[in-house]
Amino acid sequence: MENQTNSSPDIFWSPQNHDAHQTRMGQFKTWLEQQGFGPFADYHELHQWSIDELETFWQKVWDYCGLVCDKPADKVLGKRNMPGAEWFPGMKLNFAANLLRLADGDLANKEAVVAYCETRPVLRRTYAELKADVGALEAFLRSQGIESGDRVAGVVTNGYEALTGMLAATSLGAIWSSASPDFGVGAILDRFSQIEPAALIAVNGYGYGGKVFVRQDDFAELIQGLPTLKCVVSVQQLPDAAPLQGNKVTSWEEVLAYGVGKAPSFTPLAPDHPVYILYSSGTTGKPKCIVHGNAGLLVNHAKELMFHGDVGPEDRFLYFTTCGWMMWNWQASALMTGAAVITVDGSPGYPSLSYLWDIVADERVTHFGTSARFIAGCRKAKLQPATSYDQNKLRVVFSTGSPLLPEDYDWIYSDGAPEALLGSIAGGTDICGCFVGSTPLLPVRRGEIQCRFLGVDAVAYGDDGQPVTEGRGELVCRQPLPSMPVSFWQDPDGERYHDAYFNTFPGVWAHGDFIEFTEQGGAIIYGRSDATLNPGGVRIGTAEIYRQVETVAEVRDSLVVGRQIDGDVEVVLLVVPAEGQDITHDLQKRLKSRIREGASPRHVPKHIVQVTDIPYTRSGKKVELAVARLINGSKKSDNRDALSNPEALDDIARSLRDVELIT
């Protein structure tokens, strides 16, 4: 490994080898020092200053990143209490204006969006073309009576129309909310019926894995179920299928023709004016509607993308996501950096698992984002993109969605992308951003997230509500973060918002992850704290077991839950075998031995059960709680529409009955 240093065999990438002082974070650090702040000996001193001088830090982020407003703020923080922190009071700004702030200058004729999908040719648009289409779409929406504060919903694929729709909506002051077109109509209505959209942008279907899914009839039902709609814009995602029909429906082409030549208004708005409504997974009922505000989300995304991601105008940014996952919103903000945003819709494994690596090479991608699950799949398939493709431009590989196994670090730095900074990032829909993740100023260590993000006062709390000095605890944030939600929709007294994050430790955000901060200042996440297991009263994270099991060649996937019995907890491990394999008695013994040696005797499962599939949310997260409820006889029903493969729950129930773990 060319980036290995002599200081530690676990260091795969070192800032000393990559001109870290020339990165945007390195230059920001130097700029601060030139103004009399610091000096900062290293990243950790910079981070400590950023939370000690919270208001100064965020003002400097705004200034250095060149964000724009129509009226400056009276101060950075009005109220500091959580919940209820008041960011940039008095400011007037527009979110879309900031994302398109470079569209009129030297970047006007530079590629802004390159859209790949399975059903249409690759589409390329410049910043000038994107801005023109945003103005045209906004003019049409206004003609239909869409006003500031209205909701514009999208059932769209990750492509050009989604970005244009979001920018047009936020330019006029409307609130954007999107779902992926592979959602069932029930799951979409669970979301959109709560927010009562005035406009809908929808595709007529989508392609996935070489198959075409026509949704015209389904979305006709969706339109009927949303009586507040004033207009529907139909996107011909499937060129050979019929468009959406109805007296409220106008085609995408007609919409752009109607507003041709009209410029975006970039309406100035208050700093807490909503720009996005995102949703919790909704596996146990209707999803919570999480409202994100104008200025806070903007400045936090600027920090994360420009400093922690080192994204700028010369870069080409690809994050594989859908419009139902917060990573789509994160990806969209890369437009503010002047980078080209490369969108990909379809299956990451079609026509082969090398598909995304093909695009990374062909498009000279500098920043490639994906899921930990995809990286694990590449490792198990023994792909070698490092030798198969030209990765001369690739500088950063982002991973999120679930904890990244140490073996996946090994694969990236041997066969995946050995010269890239591997940025394992973790946060959530709740903040539409990250608490911990990557920095170009620190080394990448095997199996370890690099750092707390700047301006994020994150620590691990014990059950007593005090920081743990070593070991693991609840991930909390002790000071306000600009991208914390401004509210939940239809939560006028803020009770549901408070209960979601501030019930556990009053005045402190409890995120729901089980985490350990290492002596180097890095982090290891052990899974969701609400899925934490307590066999014999010892608290262990599910990710600790996945780390041992999912590197075994005979295992394709797994899921861990706790079974309540006689006042204690039995660990139950569900295993999907690799193709052509079975979970034999010998393999069970080997798995138990590996878990015992790699974790501890407390981690060893009492039961190992073979299943055919593991349930996932539509954003690619394992659904441990639904299976835990199943195995513990809970009568609470799960929202199957929120799952990408609800039939997996039925199969698991049959398998558990076969071994008499449930009746």
Assess whether 321 and 425 both reside in one domain. yes
Q: What's the mean per-residue pLDDT of the chain?
A: 94
Assess whether 477 and 620 both reside in one domain. no
Question: Taking the chain, what is the end-to-end CA distance rounded to the nearest angstrom?
Answer: 52
Q: Mean of the pLDDT values across residues 608-626?
A: 89
Q: For residue 354, is it within any domain? A: yes
Which are the contacts of 94, defined by CB distance < 8 A and separation ≥ 6? 70, 170, 171, 173, 266, 267, 268, 269, 294
Band (402; pLDDT cuts 50, 70, 90): confident
From 466, 489, 517, give the residue that closes a domain. 517
- Domain total of the chain: 2
Question: Rounded to whole angstroms, how far apart are CA atoms 72 and 91?
Answer: 5
Assess whether 460 and 547 both reside in one domain. no
Give residue 283's pLDDT: 64
Q: Which one-letter amino acid corresponds to residue 605?
A: P
Assess whether 500 and 558 both reside in one domain. no
Question: Rounded to whole angstroms, how far apart are CA atoms 191 and 234?
Answer: 20
Q: For residue 367, is it within any domain? A: yes
Q: Mean of the pLDDT values across residues 4-27?
A: 82
Band (567; pLDDT cuts 50, 70, 90): confident
- pLDDT of 432 strictly over 60: yes
Q: For residue 43, is it within any domain? A: no
Structure tokens at 479: 């000071």
Phi, psi for residue 398 in degrees, rounded to 5: -95, 145
Least confident range from 163-172, 411-420, 536-545: namely: 536-545
Assess whether 312 and 367 both reside in one domain. yes
Q: Mean of the pLDDT values across residues 591-600?
A: 89
- pLDDT of 4 strictly over 80: no
Q: For residue 50, is it within any domain? A: no
Q: For residue 505, is it within any domain? A: yes
Q: For residue 166, is it within any domain? A: no
Assess whether 619 and 483 both reside in one domain. no
Q: Give one DSSP letter per residue of 381-433, joined into a string.
A: TT--HHHHS--TT--EEEEESSPPPHHHHHHIIIII-TTSEEEE-EEETTTTE
Least confident range from 175-189, 364-378, 481-495, 611-625: namely: 611-625
From 517, 551, 582, give the residue that closes a domain. 517
Q: What is the CATH number of the domain that holds 557?
A: 3.30.300.30
DSSP bridge pairs for 540: 533
Q: For residue 552, is it within any domain? A: yes
Least confident range from 227-236, 409-418, 474-483, 539-548: namely: 539-548
State the helix-helix crossing angle for 647-658 and 624-631, rounded to 10 degrees. Answer: 40
Assess whether 589 and 446 both reside in one domain. no
Q: pLDDT over 90 for what percent of the chain?
A: 83
Assess whether 296 and 354 both reside in one domain. yes
pTM value? 0.89
- pLDDT of 34 strictly over 70: yes
Q: For residue 581, is it within any domain? A: yes
For residue range 279-336, list pLDDT tens digits in order.
Answer: 987 766 788 999 999 999 999 999 999 999 999 999 999 999 999 999 999 999 999 9
Band (15; pLDDT cuts 50, 70, 90): very high
Assess whether 508 and 630 both reside in one domain. no
From 467, 484, 517, give the residue that closes a domain. 517
Q: Mean of the pLDDT values across residues 234-255?
A: 97
Tokens 């002790």, residue? 478
Give residue 284's pLDDT: 62
- pLDDT of 203 strictly over 50: yes
Assess whether 513 and 539 both reside in one domain. no
Give residue 194's pLDDT: 97
Using left for φ > 0, alpha for ψ between -120 and 50, and beta otherwise, residue 386 falls in alpha
Assess whether 548 and 508 both reside in one domain. no
Of 429, 243, 249, nearest to 327 by C-alpha is 429
- Provide the domain limits for residue 579: 535-658
Q: Is the dihedral of CA 370, 428, 345, 615 positive or negative?
A: positive
Q: Which one-letter amino acid corresponds to residue 58?
A: W
Assess whether 469 and 577 both reside in one domain. no
| H-run or E-run covering 574 | strand 568-577
Q: What is the CATH number of the domain that holds 444?
A: 3.40.50.12780
Question: Rounded to whole angstroms, how far apart are CA atoms 562 and 442?
Answer: 37
